[in-house]
Amino acid sequence: MDMRPRVVLTHWVHPEVLDLLAAECEVVSVPERDVLPAEEMRRRCRDSQAVIMCMADCLDDSFLESCPRLVIVAASLKGYDNFDVDACTRRGVWFTNVPNLLTTPTAELAVALLLGLGRNLLPGDRSVRSGKLAGWRPTLYGNGLGGRTVGLVGMGDWGGPSLAGCWGSRSSCSAPTRCRCRPMTRSRGR
């Protein structure tokens, strides 16, 4: 019988993560990339000391009731709307999350969407995949970010990194508090 702490992962993770955990813990992993049904997740977690949960999971008092040995819930996500942190606190179960886990990827995605729209990426992709592209033609011209002014409303956790990715552009923001990025023009929102 394995005497190491038992940790349950509720979603697929890369093999390197499993190897790191397996060096210290008995690991119960999910080889599929699907979301576990709630009852299956409870069954797997019932005798565990730790669980690593993701965005699609929910944790409430009844889940904690079914996992009496649980010591820590590690949520690999930014927020915790679907996790009853008060119930964890009442039961003495630690709850952790990763507040900046998705800040940079989300900002990068925002910049990628700006570039894709400005450069007609989707129409160009459709043209190439359709087999109808007959070579270069003066179509699908677009605008990049260079020399443009990029403006965002709100300069929270995602706004600043998004503007930082807008290479060679001027930036402007509107926020109820001090804008945290430079260089830019600052205006006060209402």
Kindly state whether residues 12 and 81 are assigned to the same domain.
yes
Residue 106 burial (10 A CB sphere; 0-12, 13-18, 19+)? middle
Kindly state whether residues 40 and 88 are assigned to the same domain.
yes
Give yes or no for a contact between 75 and 104, defined as CB atoms under 8 angstroms apart: no
With a CB cutoff of 8 Å and minimum separation 6, the contacts of 27 are: 7, 9, 18, 21
Kindly state whether residues 146 and 170 are assigned to the same domain.
yes
Kindly state whether residues 42 and 112 are assigned to the same domain.
no
Can you give the residue range of the structural domain that contains 134? Answer: 103-188
pLDDT computed for residue 168 by the predictor: 56
Place of tokens 């430079």: 182
CATH of the domain at 129: 3.40.50.720
The strand ranges marked E within the chain are: 6-9, 26-28, 50-53, 72-75, 94-96, 149-153, 170-175, 185-188
Kindly state whether residues 113 and 84 are assigned to the same domain.
no
Kindly state whether residues 85 and 133 are assigned to the same domain.
no
Hey, what are 8's tokens? 């349950």
Count of domains for the chain: 2
Per-residue pLDDT tens listing for the chain (190 residues): 678 999 999 999 999 999 999 999 999 998 888 888 889 999 999 999 999 999 889 999 999 999 999 999 999 988 888 999 999 999 999 999 998 887 778 777 887 888 898 889 999 999 999 998 888 888 888 887 777 777 666 666 666 666 665 555 566 666 666 555 444 443 444 3
pLDDT computed for residue 99 by the predictor: 84
Kindly state whether residues 157 and 80 are assigned to the same domain.
no
| Nearest in space to 79 (alpha carbons), one of 62, 63, 102, 105 | 102
pLDDT computed for residue 184 by the predictor: 41
Kindly state whether residues 85 and 51 are assigned to the same domain.
yes
Domain assignment present for residue 1? The answer is no
Which of 61, 81, 96 lies at the terminal end of a domain, its last residue?
Answer: 96
What's the pTM?
A: 0.69
Domain assignment present for residue 90? The answer is yes
